[in-house]
Amino acid sequence: MSATALQQNWSNVEFASTNFVHVNSVTFSQGGQLLPYMGDANKHPTVIALQSVQNRCSITTSDVATPMGIQPGTSGTIQATQPDALGSTGGAINWTLINAVHENTDDTGNWGQFATATATFLAYSSDGTTPPLSFTRS
């Protein structure tokens, strides 16, 4: 079966060798930030420059104790696999975010619902040029 080019759910999610289970959502963000220029009588930007790129990640899990146990400021590598929607061999995407620094975790529990916790990470570049976010095929 060939790859569907559709990704569904997450597997093998970990940060600094800490494995995340009961994962509900993972978001990898390129984190681009734009700087628009306007001057004179402009009401719309006439130039938009890419100001910075700050790769980010957030992980939401129902295993709230795991991310709540990570201290803000802790750094490590995040790995996560986004499987092919129909499980085709070779159809998954493996994401790796190095130099990820844990920013914060919010633990939320609503009455009558499973609790969730969302951990957010901001990654730095070792040389200021190379993106910390990379991918491999499966």
- Give contact residues for other proteins (rule: CB under 8 A): 3, 5, 50, 77, 90-91, 93-94, 96, 98, 125-131, 133-138
- Which lies closer to other proteins via its Cβ, residue 7 or residue 18? 7
Shortest CB 46 distance to other proteins, Å = 18
- Which lies closer to other proteins via its Cβ, residue 67 or residue 91? 91
Shortest CB 115 distance to other proteins, Å = 32
Shortest CB 38 distance to other proteins, Å = 23
DSSP string over the chain: ----S-B-S-EEEEETTEEE-SEEEEEEE--EEEEEE--TT-SS-SEEEEEEE--EEEEEES-THHHHTSPTT-EEEEEEEE-BTT--TT--EEEEEEEEEEEEEEEE--TTS--EEEEEEEE--SSSSS-SEEEEE-
- Which lies closer to other proteins via its Cβ, residue 117 or residue 122? 122
